[in-house]
Amino acid sequence: MWLDLYLGMAVVLSVECKPLNKGTHNKLLVISFDGFRWDYDQDVDTPHMDKLVVDGVKAKYITPPAITMTSPSHFTTITGRWIEDHGVVHNMMFNSTTHQKVVHKATLKRSEWWDNGALPLWITAQNQGLKTGSFFFPGGAANYSGQSVNRAVVEETGQQDDNETEWQQNIDTVLSWFTEEDFDFVTLYYGEPDNVGHAKGPDHPDRKTIIKQIDRTIGYLREAIQRDGLTDNLNIIITSDHGMTTVKKRPLVDEIILSKYLNFFNLVYFELLDYGGFGMITPKKGKEQQVYDALMKAPNLTVYKKEDMPENFHLSKNDRIQPIIVIADLGFNLNSRFIVYVNKGDHGFHMDEMDMKTIFRAFGPDFKNSYLSEPFDSVHIYPLMCKLLQIDPAPNNGSLSITEGMLVQNGGRRNQMSLGVLASIFVYILFVM
């Protein structure tokens, strides 16, 4: 009898306590709320986000890549590559030779803008036998060297971004992909609070209203996960792409108008300006030094030659980066010839500005409870996702060592009994019963 009991317990110990092996993974849903600044939940009542601090993981904040815009930042998250490596260097698709510019939402459907050799996680996971999907997530509708995500929903121009009923319906849709179609990995994107931050500014009461709506949506998500029986096998990561800051305007400041310092007609061949705090300029042939010297006279502006970009920007090695890069001081929008920008809030500024930092939350069977992470760069989210899905990552610039402390048993399942607990049970049965 005791021999049988011992052998039985030994089997349990070997099965229940082994770490998460390749091929035995939980599912993963990654949700991005565009423009969710790191501190947006600190002046609003957010009971559901507060509960995540107890039930899961919170980072103090995360730092986006150098171009704090929607498309470049999201593609860093989904590829684990710096911007100079993945090549999505702006929200707009552009061609500096033909002067073609394609607006942001139209760019989302243009594979030639996204397919630059860096494979997003959707494709890497599919190539290793997983089913993946994208709902509105930037880049999710593109083809990558002839490969596309199993299921993609593309944001339509003019769609209402703040309809709470539609937000809940989107959650129901992606959860059905997990329950009815056995998807392994899905990304879901919401355009708020970015829209409100632009239109009203980060300090406007409407921003607080939309944060409360996001909090209710997270509450709905958790109820839906329980309703659909996914509590024990679905991990959730909630993050964003960049923060938001108040635009500084007259009469409080002298706004930047670059034509005061630079003759565009004589000196500039191509430019990407008037889009927040980041811009690029291609001088006419032989005029690069003259353009650089002229821009250096503009106040509230930092000017770089491409070859002199600081290494931590990770921008200098891509052909799409133009010869002159300009970054405005926090809150100063780049106006090329005259002031056309009407936004009250914006981004695109230096990634080390606190107003550009953003959020990271995570919960599920593979994440610890009540774990507060130190800040980290968003590029490190990629190897964490690969670890959760138990797939081999594509080449990337992230490091699992930054985030693996968030995980239960370094990637094991939270509901597995520990070796110590099982051993104690065995000893109790052997000597007491």
264 and 382 share a domain? Answer: no
Q: Is residue 194 part of a domain?
A: yes
Provide the pLDDT for residue 197: 97
Per annotation, catalytic residue among 63, 68, 70, 217 = 70
Provide the pLDDT for residue 159: 56
184 and 265 share a domain? Answer: no
Last residue of a domain, one of 316, 342, 368: 342
Last residue of a domain, one of 313, 342, 371: 342
CATH number at residue 71: 3.40.720.10
Provide the pLDDT for residue 402: 97
186 and 262 share a domain? Answer: no
Provide the pLDDT for residue 428: 42
Question: Could you list the residue range(s) of the whole structural domain that residue 10 is in?
Answer: 2-17+417-431
Q: What is the pLDDT of residues 212-222, one digit of tens each?
A: 999 999 999 99
120 and 174 share a domain? Answer: yes
CA distance 168 to 172: 6
CATH number at residue 294: 3.30.1360.180
CA distance 374 to 59: 6
Q: What is the pLDDT along the chain (433 residues), one digit of tens a residue?
A: 443 433 343 333 333 333 344 458 999 999 999 999 999 999 999 999 999 999 999 999 999 999 999 999 999 999 999 999 999 999 999 999 999 999 998 999 899 999 999 999 999 999 999 999 999 999 999 999 999 999 999 876 555 678 999 999 999 999 999 999 999 999 999 999 999 999 999 999 999 999 999 999 999 999 999 999 999 999 999 999 999 999 999 889 999 999 999 999 999 999 999 888 999 999 999 999 999 999 999 999 999 999 999 999 999 999 999 999 999 999 999 999 988 767 999 999 999 999 999 999 999 999 999 999 999 999 999 999 999 999 999 999 999 999 999 999 754 444 433 333 334 444 344 444 4
148 and 72 share a domain? Answer: yes
Strands lying side by side in the sheet with 27-33: 151-153, 132-135, 185-190, 27-33, 234-239, 360-363, 57-59, 371-373
Q: What is the pLDDT of residues 122-169, one digit of tens each?
A: 999 999 999 999 999 999 999 999 999 999 998 765 556 789 999 999
Q: Give the pairing type, strands 57-59 and 371-373.
A: parallel
Stated pTM of the model: 0.89
Provide the pLDDT for residue 275: 87
Nearest to 408 by CA among 48, 41, 56: 56
Residue 63 designated active-site: no
> Residue type at 20?
L
357 and 229 share a domain? Answer: yes
237 and 171 share a domain? Answer: yes
233 and 296 share a domain? Answer: no
> How many folded domains does the chain comprise?
3
